[in-house]
Structure 1
Amino acid sequence: MTEQRTRPTVFAIWLIIAGVIGWWAAFQLTLERFHLLQNPDAILNCDISPLVQCKANLESAQGAVFGFPNPILGLTMWVAPIVVGVAILAGARFAKWFWFLFWCGFVFAMGFVIWLMTQSIYELGTLCPWCMVTWAVVIPSFWAVTFHVMRQGVFGDGARELGEKLMGWTPLFTVVSYVAVAVMAQLRLDLLSVLFI
């Protein structure tokens, strides 16, 4: 087993960075939600235009799917990749069942983000800046975690080599995902005409 496989330093550092960015975005959205509770007519710091704003998203039914504001999920869940990343750097090694559960968390996150993207673009007609920061870190994290658990043998020994190869393609998978979101937003919201008026 290679050193890269036993201690994937780059992967660990990415988990920490993504966790911190994702947590910060959730924290900012939570502050904005508190601001709205204090003053429902407030103009939020992230309300840049009718197209790019947080208020519509925070006040929508989609903004509290589980009966509480969605950013609370981020405040709790983004701690996990930070802890796992730090543990890896400290030399921790996790069982396959742990990696499977960790991956399931990112499957949920990716599915939820895809749903929120489509709701934001097609139903609400807005792009929430802090939400987009969350999307921007969930997407590469999902691909990186997926490929990492493959190379850890979670999906069988036959997937180890494929996971190792695909890990290097994480940036490409990420860019393609970003482009797909950008195309959806452009086709639905005509962003370019708004940005260049």
Structure 2
Amino acid sequence: MTSRTRSPRPTVFAVWLIFAGVVGWIAAFALTTEKFALLENPGSSASCDISILVQCGKNLESAQGSVFGFPNPILGLTGWVAPIVVGAALLAGARFARWFWLLFGLGVTAALAFVLWLITQSIFVLATLCPWCMVTWSVTIPTFFAVMVHLVREGAIPASAAGRRRADALMAWTPLMAIIAFAVVGVIAQVRLDWIAEFTR
């Protein structure tokens, strides 16, 4: 049997998971309450509708806002609990099996894929920038990078000892990777929607 060297407790990673989970859950809760308010008052505007460009009402009432037959934010209310629990468990000293990390990574990857699809729908189809949706984007993208790097350094994704060391060093660069991803989204949104002009009026 191959033995694995136990790595130090990933405190920063754990704290990020809790932070991202809480922020993502708050965004999902806000969007859920907005959806309920729109259902109770058809034809009304959501409180996060700032302008034609910056709003969440159009997103919530669109087909893209209920992809699986129920409001998308409900996925967030349930899904964001996972990183909070995992982060808290890591801070408490828990160690997870490889299969658990792979399932967790799969879930985070699915979340990123869904968010990327929603970003394209928001920019290219709905022509809106939903405030609470953008909060969700802002924590989903870096969480994906952090989790993938962690899976490599923990050995859940097979890698050589050198590869795991490089992944450990790469963890410090995940904020930069997220910033670059945000910049790409920002440039695409600017070309398509000219959001800078909206925010500088």
Q: How high is the TM-score relative to the length of structure 2? A: 0.94
The aligned runs of 1:177-188 (5 Å cut-off) are 177-188=181-192
Letter in 2 for 1:58: L
**5 Å matches for 1:21-60?**
21-60=23-62
Aligned equivalents of 1:141, 1:91: Cα separation in 2: 20
- 1:104-115 equivalences in 2 (<5 Å): 104-115=106-117
Unmatched 5+ stretches in structure 2: none
- Per the alignment, residue 143 of structure 2 pairs with 141
Shift of 1:157: 3.5
Deviates more, 1:66-75 or 1:155-164: 155-164
1:71-116 per-residue CA deviation (whole Å, 9 max, x = no partner) reads 0000000000000000001110001111111000110011000000
Task: Give the whole-Å Cα distance in 2 for the aligned partners of 1:144 and 1:15.
Answer: 9
3-state SS in 1 of match to 2:170:
helix
Contact 1:150 1:162 in 2 (8 A): no
AA aligned to 2:65 is G
Separation of aligned partners in 2, 1:115 and 1:98: 26
2:167 alignment counterpart: 163
Asked if the contact 1:19–1:80 (Cα under 8 Å) also holds between the matched residues in 2, the reply is yes
SS at match of 1:53: coil
Alignment of 1:1-197 (within 5 A): 1=5, 5-158=7-160, 159-197=163-201
Q: Which runs of 5+ in 1 are unaligned?
A: none
In 1, distance between residues paired with 2:165 and 2:101?
A: 17
Q: How far is 1:143 from its partner?
A: 0.3
Output the aligned Cα RMSD: 1.0
Amino acid at match of 1:95: A
Which residue identity lines up with residue 29 of structure 1 in the other structure?
A: L
Distance 1:83 1:6 in 2: 19
Which stretch has the larger CA shift, 113-122 or 163-172?
Answer: 163-172
1:45 is displaced (CA, Å) by: 1.1
Percent identical pairs in the alignment equals 60
Q: Deviation digits for residues 155-179 of structure 1, max 9, x if unmatched?
A: 2131412321211110110010000
Aligned residues: 195
Q: Which amino acid aligns with 1:187?
A: V
Return the offset for 1:42: 1.5
1:86 corresponds to which letter in structure 2?
A
Question: What is the alpha-carbon distance in structure 2 between the residues aligned to residue 95 and residue 102 of structure 1?
Answer: 11
Structure 1 stretches of 4+ with a deviation exceeding 6 A read none
